[in-house]
Structure 1
């Protein structure tokens, strides 16, 4: 990984670039080779999000069945002042910031506490960082904006280490990680902050009945199915693959023993898929499934246990009015 940043002047803030050249292309090839030769086959969910996938996810967030975005927004709108009071910060760092759409309420609350000076947005997409920066610079003209193009799973070491910081990890994204990945990331965030150096604010979806969980990932309008299949279109475009997208069915299942939803694509028939971009041929048996996302659900106590194991102490925890979702603030100790 590159250790020196290259700055691109565009709009009100400069992006500090830490990603190596052609990083996303090489990551896609690595993930495809690893995932499609594994048993069972899998791909990480980050490859849903090309322009089409991002627009589909925006539609998903507005669906009546998909509650997590609304629940998290409700919590932030209602309790952001309490979160800021629990851990006043000089710097807010948001991991996987995207459009930073949920951030203004938190920024406002931290500013009201009187200490916030800087907002650091961390994402792999220049476009998302620039768009968010343009909006936030107008909304918060006195706030120092520091967009960072980096992979938060591997490059936390490039982020600010001075002053009291709050690391925000929203959207329930932590649930997309396998348990060992969650442990490693939480420990890395603790190392970044250091004892007494700040806090982690994390959004997590809570365990609830299957009849609520599954429709959130398999809506009646079929938008999530199109979103899921979009990963095959990405591979067709980027790697010259020949997936017959219409011959895969969207599947969402609740696995209570693992406390998670899995999204999968199920082959309708036996197919041999060629991926020239990675010099690979992959056989799918009829009925074989490709896992494209996991979304772990947590209990309130379970969140605290994982945070405490990584060196944090819970300072506050808030849920929405229907107890579907939780936002937790934990201090690094």
Structure 2
């Protein structure tokens, strides 16, 4: 695993690359989550507009035992530790099925550090919360291949996916009336200020979130109404934004079953089960490791 200094250097490089990208500068969405950002996101999950968390939590109890019966895991690996209630549901299903249970923790980046798990057997990887939506679709097959490499044949990857639906419902979830999501979005600038010595003025930026139907994702941005010049010392970047200039802070991809299946060839994973809530808002997809990796 990387040291703290190595991780900070990696973060600085990612921020530099993102801010220098054109036509639209961007920031890595993992930087939302300092202590304040985590608390804001916890509030978001309880907002009336934000259906994702409560829909997944409502679906998981009906799915968990079926998943455990299919995979018979002894090891549960949760990627991106989030709401403990969802993991508890899976742990309870494993206990009821008497599969045995081994638990451990690893600090790392699930996009780059899955290999730290090493080869294993009887594993179920849980990737819940629609977190897969924050990965660009072109990077998802590589993530799936990394997951398959640490699973034995028949082991599983349980993925939570927010599904394509009408624009109004999607955009409302990321533009709540209380403005919590807007404050969460601006918090990424506070994190950059703290970690990389930047001089952003977070409150001078406007929250923007819209659904791109062609890409099938929600895109969040921060807009500088007056324009600005910002120094990000730790990344060695001077960012100049014209009036109305924007920074992309997150994508949240929305899926269909067909879109997921299109990403699976040559990854070593196959779709074993697909279950949605009654309104087809959210899906839990169980992917199983094939007998041979290509």
TM band (smaller chain): over 0.9
Q: SS state of the match for residue 221, structure 1?
A: coil
Q: Under a length normalisation based on structure 2, what TM-score does the superposition of the two structures give?
A: 0.93
1:241 matched to which residue of 2? Answer: 198
Shift of 1:22: 2.4
2:9 matched to which residue of 1? Answer: 26
| Residue 111 in structure 1 maps to residue 95 in structure 2 | yes
Please give the residue correspondences for 1:203-214 in structure 2 after superposition, counting only pairs within 5 Å. Answer: 203-214=160-171
Specify every segment of 5 or more residues in structure 2 that has no aligned partner in the other structure, as ranges: none
1:314 matched to which residue of 2? Answer: 271
In structure 2, C-alpha distance between the alignment counterparts of 1:210 and 1:309, rounded to whole Å = 32
Considering only aligned residues, what root-mean-square deviation do their CA atoms show, in Å? 1.5
Could you give the per-residue CA deviations for residues 139-166 of structure 1, whole angstroms, max 9, x where no partner exists?
xxxxxx2111122211222215232211
Mapped contact 1:86–1:316 kept (Cα < 8 A):
no
2:130 matched to which residue of 1? Answer: 172
Q: SS state of the match for residue 150, structure 2?
A: helix
Could you give the per-residue CA deviations for residues 159-217 of structure 1, whole angstroms, max 9, x where no partner exists?
152322111111111110112211110111112214x1511110110000000000101
| Residue 80 in structure 1 maps to residue 64 in structure 2 | yes
Distance 1:21 1:270, change over 3 A: closer
Mapped contact 1:193–1:332 kept (Cα < 8 A):
yes
| Residue 61 in structure 1 maps to residue 61 in structure 2 | no
Shift of 1:239: 2.0
> Which of these residues, 21, 38, 50, is aligned with residue 21 of structure 2?
38
Q: SS state of the match for residue 273, structure 2?
A: strand
Q: Under a length normalisation based on structure 1, what TM-score does the superposition of the two structures give?
A: 0.83
| Alignment size in residue pairs | 289
In structure 2, C-alpha distance between the alignment counterparts of 1:34 and 1:327, rounded to whole Å = 33
Please give the residue correspondences for 1:163-202 in structure 2 after superposition, counting only pairs within 5 Å. Answer: 163-194=121-152, 196-202=153-159
Specify every segment of 5 or more residues in structure 1 that has no aligned partner in the other structure, as ranges: 1-17, 119-144
Structure ranking higher on relative contact order (CA contacts 8 Å, 6+ apart): 2
Mapped contact 1:307–1:330 kept (Cα < 8 A):
no
Mapped contact 1:86–1:329 kept (Cα < 8 A):
no
Distance 1:49 1:204, change over 3 A: same
Answer with 244-253 or 309-318: which moved more. 309-318
In structure 1, C-alpha distance between the alignment counterparts of 2:41 and 2:27, rounded to whole Å = 18
